[in-house]
């Protein structure tokens, strides 16, 4: 997962407080899906992400299984993650 959010509706409420809950069409609750995931999970997140805050991955990290991994891409924002050397190296190792 690349720069995932914990709960989409929470993300919207945090970033756009004027949006009323009934206006959010999709209820994508990543934390609930992650708990049911049977495969290995790798989370990547830039610690300078201003679109989907790094704290989203920190919250999801608590739900990872023992063999899952969480990788912080230091100094990265949101749009450049796939070009990060550490991301490329870890993805090559994982795949």
Give residue for tokens 């870890």.
90
d(CA 74, CA 5): 18
Which pLDDT score is estimated for 13?
66
What pairs with residue 46 in β-bridges?
A: 73
Contact 31, 57 (CB under 8 A): no
Phi, then psi, of 43 in degrees rounded to 5: -105, 130
Which pLDDT score is estimated for 36?
87
pTM (2 decimals)? Answer: 0.81
Neighbours of 41 (CB within 10 A): 17
Tens of pLDDT, residues 5-63: 888 677 766 666 666 666 566 677 888 888 889 999 999 999 999 989 999 999 999 99
**pLDDT surpassing 80 at residue 72:** yes
């Amino acid at each position: 997962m690349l720069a995932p959010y914990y709960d989409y509706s929470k993300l919207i409420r945090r970033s756009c407080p004027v949006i009323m809950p009934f206006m959010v069409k999709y209820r994508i609750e990543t934390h609930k899906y992650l708990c049911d995931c049977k495969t290995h999970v790798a989370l990547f997140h830039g610690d300078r992400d201003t679109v989907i805050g790094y704290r989203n991955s920190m919250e999801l990290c608590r739900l990872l299984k023992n063999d899952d991994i969480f990788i912080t891409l230091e100094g990265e924002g949101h749009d450049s993650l796939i070009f990060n050397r550490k991301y490329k190296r870890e993805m090559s190792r994982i795949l």
